[in-house]
A and B are shown apart, each in its own frame.
Chain A
């Protein structure tokens, strides 16, 4: 009864093509945003912001970026961690070498750098695809890991290889409390999610999806594969780069190249598989799942009265991850986002089954 769209008539193209055509969705999303911006900063605890919400939001942003590439354009990438690293180090170098630059500009520019590197490593995708490409993106991962660890210029000649971000000062205001950091990240993620949503439902998103579904056929109907694939790489690594800069500046504060190793790439890939390939909402759901699951797995044995060593818990954690990946691929290849969509379908008919 609640989720019924009968009587909602669309009389203009604009109203038919809006982001959330169903009234209930609009109300829900606006309510959610009001809650996230207006209520959450007052009721959240420091632990909640630091350990859950901030990493969740930043990883969601990176997952959206990866989802554009893998979920929408069908180019599997195992090099996401590297592109996050490019964003992080670009932001670091811009911030210390051009101190007067506004941090928001720094973040956006680091996305541009990451985007350039992404296009460079995206070139092989014009000739190879599938797992060949997946392995080729590993080349980006290992090369960039090495680059930031070995070339001293990037770390401003730091002796240990680890670097610290300058304070988060934007428009003369320093963002240092957990709530402020949360709001900053939230604002970024909301804007970028909106951009991603609109890109993916426009002409460019259509050309990505056509390329994903069958690239030869897409070429035949007049989609230029080169433009589609490279633009997917560019947009995706832009998002991932900004996420990397935020991860380094807001979440980590100080970091070393290991923060962006190949495990980060796998983690992000798992997020979009579990969340739902080719879905913006899925990126959020997957990120939430992967951020919260380790916390649950850590608490669960204690709650049940079983004591496990931390080592054991981490082994069990990767086992559960592995099993979940396989289970999701078999049972629901389109992930949590699909479950949500099915739930909405059911609600539409509720309480009658037909």
Chain B
């Protein structure tokens, strides 16, 4: 065996690793959706904005300081969004809020590039660039694994664990879940809706920052970061909008499916199928299970 198995494993591992990165962006989407019922199209723009802020601030100050300032910026952004967009639109239909986040996405996008410029910036946060060859003894030629991806995967895992703890164990987390269940009921027992929203959007901003750091150091900080975030949409669709594990598993499935299909189907179909594969996969899946893998079943009433 060996010579056949190793490239195959490489494709699988590569797919799973990029899947982890997709789920990182998807996580931001799920968080906001869970706590406010808003499908946040601006998550991609937030990733770009966070990465751009960090990379430009790092030109002027040390990393830790730049990181702190960026976090402050993301929290301020969350507060502004809550104040200027969500509060006036409270109790509107989901689809109206969705379109509002489209506007927010455009605004943040333009703002970020107006303030920070629109060149391609390289981001160095000390991630190892060299790929590593593993299992050389087991397989002929070994398996090539990018260490950057491994670190990203570990970071993502830590993040998910932290979020799960935050949701399950702290009182703020409990309040968040209560709001997710029922806005009005949560409000009537004295949970401040506005504050919860600011917290959720801030957390989503932080998730965007982590995703931005990882993606940014991989691809360079540039406009296309936003398009990477478009990949997160089929991930949440597949996993179900309301489920954090769904975002992770959906990301893994999409990442894996994408790589495998690109390698094994791509040549026959003409290549470049990565662009739509995830969407079509999610679409076909939806036809059979409209609420996603782990989503909640919807019951319609008149």
Contacts and interface: CB of A to CB of B under 8 A. Distances in A.
B233 interface: yes
B102 interface: yes
Interface in A35-60: none
A138 B94 CA distance: 18
A150 B270 contact: yes
Interface stretch (A6-14, A236-244, A316-324): A316-324
A298 B282 CA distance: 40
A315 B118 contact: yes
B280 interface: yes
Contacts of B88: 330
A121 to B, nearest CB: 8
A311 to B, nearest CB: 6
A342 interface: no
Contacts of B104: 322, 326
A224 B191 CA distance: 42
Contact of B110 (A127, A317, A333): A317
A333 B272 CA distance: 39
Interface string B60-99: 0000000000000000000000001100110010111011
A220 B96 CA distance: 25
Nearest to B98: A131
A295 interface: no
A143 B89 contact: no
Nearest to B236: A135
Nearest to B112: A315
B237 A132 contact: yes
Q: Name the residue in A217, A321, A326 with the highest tally of chain B Cβ atoms < 10 Å from its Cβ.
A: A326
A273 B109 CA distance: 20
B249 interface: no
A193 B290 CA distance: 35
Interface string B233-263: 1100100010000000000000000000000
Given A146-B273, A150-B270, A220 B302 contact: yes
A259 interface: no
Contact of B102 (A124, A138, A269, A315): A269
Interface string A136-154: 1011001101100111000
Given A127-B286, A132-B237, A146-B275, A322 B110 contact: yes
A266 B103 CA distance: 10
Contacts of B287: 123-124, 127
Contacts of A214: 302
Contacts of B92: 329, 333
Contact of B276 (A146, A315, A323): A146
Interface residues of B, number: 47
A24 to B, nearest CB: 33
B86 to A, nearest CB: 10
Most chain B beta carbons < 10 A, residue from A132, A134, A273, A321: A132
A348 to B, nearest CB: 30
Contacts, number: 134
A325 interface: yes
A8 to B, nearest CB: 37
Contacts of A96: none
A187 interface: no
Contacts of B39: 130-131
Interface string B270-288: 1111011001101100110
Interface in A247-301: 266, 269, 273
Given A142-B276, A214-B302, A319-B114, A326 B107 contact: yes
A216 B301 contact: yes
Contacts of B230: 138
Contact of B233 (A135, A325, A333): A135
Given A145-B275, A322-B109, A329 B233 contact: no
Contact of A322 (B94, B103, B113, B271): B103
Given A135-B233, A146-B273, A127 B102 contact: no
A80 B39 CA distance: 20
A349 B105 CA distance: 41
B233 A312 contact: no
Given A124-B283, A128-B286, A146-B275, A325 B110 contact: no
A323 B95 CA distance: 18
A151 B269 CA distance: 9
Contacts of B109: 318-319, 322
Interface string B99-136: 11011111111110110001000000000000000000
Given A139-B283, A311-B118, A330-B88, A318 B290 contact: no
Which 8 interchain pairs have the tightest Cβ spacing? A325-B103, A322-B107, A322-B106, A319-B110, A139-B279, A142-B276, A318-B110, A326-B103
Interface of A: 74, 76, 123-124, 127-128, 130-132, 134-136, 138-139, 142-143, 145-146, 149-151, 214-217, 220, 266, 269, 273, 311-312, 315-326, 329-330, 333
14 contacts: A128-B290, A130-B95, A131-B94, A132-B241, A136-B283, A139-B279, A146-B272, A319-B111, A320-B110, A321-B103, A323-B103, A325-B106, A326-B103, A329-B103
